[in-house]
């Protein structure tokens, strides 16, 4: 197996606060990693560092053999990393379909000039985009495809989360980062989410996924590798059962009033 993402000694400071403290790990192509940890542990910061939202104070991020430390987000997306956000960031006034098409912009050839001077080529590319977007909307559970002309802001919470994933997939990523995808979902919706992720992995065996989750129902479904972060440090790593049983992990959750867990 070859390494897709390699994080080496990454530290991220915000003033006096150390959000990530000398974090080192790597993930292989086609693997799934679940990241758990109490509120404020540094999980989302990890995604922000990987996707170039923040440049780490020190350390290195290597993706698919290239150093991407602090590279701008558009370049990171172009290289093959896509993410969803903990708090949904859809364009709520745009249609469901348009939200997915926007996710494709790093993979389309037509720029503004080309659209003006070669409208035929641009129209053909647009038609292909619509078709691809519709395919993505048909993939997951739920009925996003039937709702494709609705403004995204009018979707139910679970559908919004699903749409975020469809939009991330539109950039044809090699690595998909999901930040608490089950937030706002009930148990049935969460089970459907798990099934969607599992199907995605079986259809794209090369795709790697990092999943930040508080819901152990989801983590348990992807038990092969779990990492627990606390105060910016990796405190445990291994299979789900071993990490859950780790006294440091229990302490981290219990010690913080266990708002989730």
Among 31, 34, 36, 42, binds ligand ATP (CB under 6 A): 42
| Alpha-carbon distance values, 232 to 22, 41, 93, 159, 194 (Å) | 8, 5, 36, 31, 27
Residue 126 tokens read as 């647009």
Give all strands (DSSP E) within 91-244, no chain letters. 175-179, 208-212, 226-230, 233-238
- Neighbouring CB atoms inside 10 A of 4's CB total 22
Is 17 an interacting residue with respect to ligand ATP (CB under 6 A)? yes
Binding piece for Mg ion, criterion CB under 5 A, among 1-9, 84-92, 138-146, 154-162 = 84-92
Binding piece for ligand ATP, criterion CB under 6 A, among 38-46, 193-201, 220-228, 238-246 = 38-46
Binder of residue 156, out of Mg ion, ligand ATP, none (CB less than 5 to 8 A by kind): none
Binder of residue 42, out of ligand ATP, Mg ion, none (CB less than 5 to 8 A by kind): ligand ATP
Give kind and range of the element (H or E) at residue 67: strand 66-67
Q: Which of 98, 104, 122 is closest to 112 using CA atoms?
A: 122
Binding piece for ligand ATP, criterion CB under 6 A, among 36-44, 133-141, 156-164, 195-203 = 36-44
CB of 44 to Mg ion, least distance (A): 3
Among 24, 26, 39, 154, binds ligand ATP (CB under 6 A): 39
Is 86 an interacting residue with respect to ligand ATP (CB under 6 A)? yes
Q: Which of 236, 247, 256 is closest to 36 using CA atoms?
A: 236
CB of 35 to Mg ion, least distance (A): 10
Size of the site for ligand ATP (CB under 6 A): 12
CB of 147 to ligand ATP, least distance (A): 28
| Alpha-carbon distance values, 113 to 39, 121, 137, 175 (Å) | 46, 12, 29, 31
Distance, CA of 126 to CA of 101 (rounded, Å)? 9
Give 16 or 65: the residue with its C-beta nearer to ligand ATP. Answer: 16
Q: Taking CB under 5 A as the criterion, which residues in 123-162 touch Mg ion?
A: none
Residue 153 carries which DSSP code?
Answer: G
3-state DSSP call for residue 212? strand
Among 20, 32, 44, 161, binds Mg ion (CB under 5 A): 44
Q: Which of 224, 226, 228, 232 is closest to 248 using CA atoms?
A: 228
Is 245 an interacting residue with respect to ligand ATP (CB under 6 A)? no
State the residues that interact with ligand ATP by CB under 6 A: 14, 17, 19, 37, 39-45, 86
């Amino acid at each position: 197996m070859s390494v897709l993402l390699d994080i080496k000694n990454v530290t991220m400071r915000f003033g006096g606060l150390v959000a990530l403290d000398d974090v080192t790990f790597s993930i292989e192509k086609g693997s799934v990693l679940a990241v758990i940890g109490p509120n404020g542990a540094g999980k989302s910061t990890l995604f922000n560092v990987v996707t170039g939202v923040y440049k780490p104070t020190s350390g290195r991020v290597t993706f698919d053999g290239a150093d991407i430390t602090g590279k701008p987000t558009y370049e990171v997306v172009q290289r093959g990393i896509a993410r969803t956000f903990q708090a949904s960031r859809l364009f709520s006034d745009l249609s469901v379909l348009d939200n997915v098409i926007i996710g494709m912009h790093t993979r389309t050839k037509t720029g503004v000039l080309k659209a003006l001077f070669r409208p035929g080529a641009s129209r053909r590319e647009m038609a292909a985009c619509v078709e691809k977007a519709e395919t993505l909307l048909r993939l997951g559970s739920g009925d996003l495809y039937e709702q494709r002309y609705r403004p995204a802001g009018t979707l139910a919470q679970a559908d919004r989360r699903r749409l975020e994933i469809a939009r991330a997939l539109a950039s044809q990523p090699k690595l998909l980062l999901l930040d608490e995808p089950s937030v706002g979902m009930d148990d049935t919706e969460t089970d459907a989410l798990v099934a969607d992720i599992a199907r995605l992995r079986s259809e794209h065996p090369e795709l790697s996924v990092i999943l930040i989750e508080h819901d152990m129902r989801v983590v348990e479904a992807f038990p092969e590798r779990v990492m627990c972060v606390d105060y910016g440090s990796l405190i445990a790593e291994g299979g789900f059962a071993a990490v859950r049983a780790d006294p440091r992990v229990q302490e981290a959750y219990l010690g913080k009033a266990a708002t989730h867990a």
